[in-house]
Amino acid sequence: MTALAINALCKSFGGLRVTSNVNLSVEAGERRLIIGPNGAGKTTLFNLITGELSPDSGSIELFGSDITKLASRKRAHLGVARTYQIITLFAGETILHNVSLALLGLSPLRWSFFGNLDRQHHIVESAREALAHVGLETIAARPLAQTSYGERRRVEIAMALAQKPKLLLLDEPFAGLSIDERRDVQQLLKRIPREVSIVMIEHNMDVALDFAEKVTLLHFGEVIVEGTRSDVVNDPRTREVYLGH
């Protein structure tokens, strides 16, 4: 079954075409890597998938349902979750509270919430469960401001996993991490069950290629190479536009 199907997707900002007739098909349970130089349109593609941007033309399907015109919040309810290249968390709140807030966004309580979030036991327990998946349950009460950069990356992944996604979009999850932190996140991603299809944008080729089963190379908003890891790495167009030789 196809988890994500993108057909002839186009997006321009003024006269600048950032997504040009992109076609992309990701099977259920697949681990897909999207690579490309800066300005290739990778994050814009994620923003189109999540509904943060609207395409000029083309279509997006999630498990066979057309979501092209669906609001971003409704896509989240259908199982789309993501992380961001720049971490966007509440530094003054605890780790647990950050993850709980992510769950609150999917709850009907978000429309009439005036109480203490800690009293919403089902939300808090789901948040604790997500933190256990990323190995942070023992420091759930720690203020985010007192955590390392790698721990914040894992908090962000926990926030996405807490939403029980069917499609998880990871925007450079290894960016800025030390060697040990990259190893921790790499092991975390390998533990995500196959019920979750994953599409990752990443510049760190060493760890990303180990994760990916299929690779898509974007350049100036177009898909120019796609295939297995070896196919894409050995393609002369990859060496020209991404590897620099």
Q: State the sign of the Cα–Cα–Cα–Cα dihedral 99, 105, 109, 114.
A: positive
Q: Which two tokens stand for residue 138?
A: 């023992």
Pairwise CA distance, residues 192 & 197, whole Å: 9
Low-confidence ranges of the chain (pLDDT < 50): 108-114
What per-residue confidence (pLDDT) applies to 145? 92
What per-residue confidence (pLDDT) applies to 33? 95
Taking alpha carbons only, the member of 222, 220, 202, 221 closest to residue 212 is 202
Pairwise CA distance, residues 71 & 170, whole Å: 20
What per-residue confidence (pLDDT) applies to 113? 44
Question: Per-domain residue ranges for the chain?
Answer: 1-79+165-245, 90-163
Q: DSSP string spanning the chain? A: -EEEEEEEEEEEETTEEEEEEEEEEEETT-EEEEE--TTSSHHHHHHHHHTSS--SEEEEEETTEE-TTS-HHHHHHTTEEE--SS----TTSBHHHHHHHHHHTTSGGGGS--S-GGG-HHHHHHHHHHHHHTT-GGGTTSBGGGS-HHHHHHHHHHHHHTT--SEEEEESTTTT--HHHHHHHHHHHHTS-TTSEEEEE-S-HHHHHHH-SEEEEEETTEEEEEESHHHHHH-HHHIIIII--
What per-residue confidence (pLDDT) applies to 108? 47
- Interval 115-167: pLDDT, tens: 555 556 788 888 999 999 899 999 999 999 999 999 999 999 998 998 889 99
Length of the chain counted residue by residue:
245
Contact 162, 136 (CB under 8 A): no
Report the chain's mean pLDDT, rounded to a whole number.
88
What per-residue confidence (pLDDT) applies to 221? 94
What per-residue confidence (pLDDT) applies to 244? 61
What per-residue confidence (pLDDT) applies to 218? 94
Please tell us whether the domain made up of 1-79+165-245 is placed in CATH 3.40.50.300.
Answer: yes
User: What number of H helices and E strands is found in the chain?
Assistant: 9, 10
Rounded to a whole number of angstroms, the CA Rg of the chain reads 18
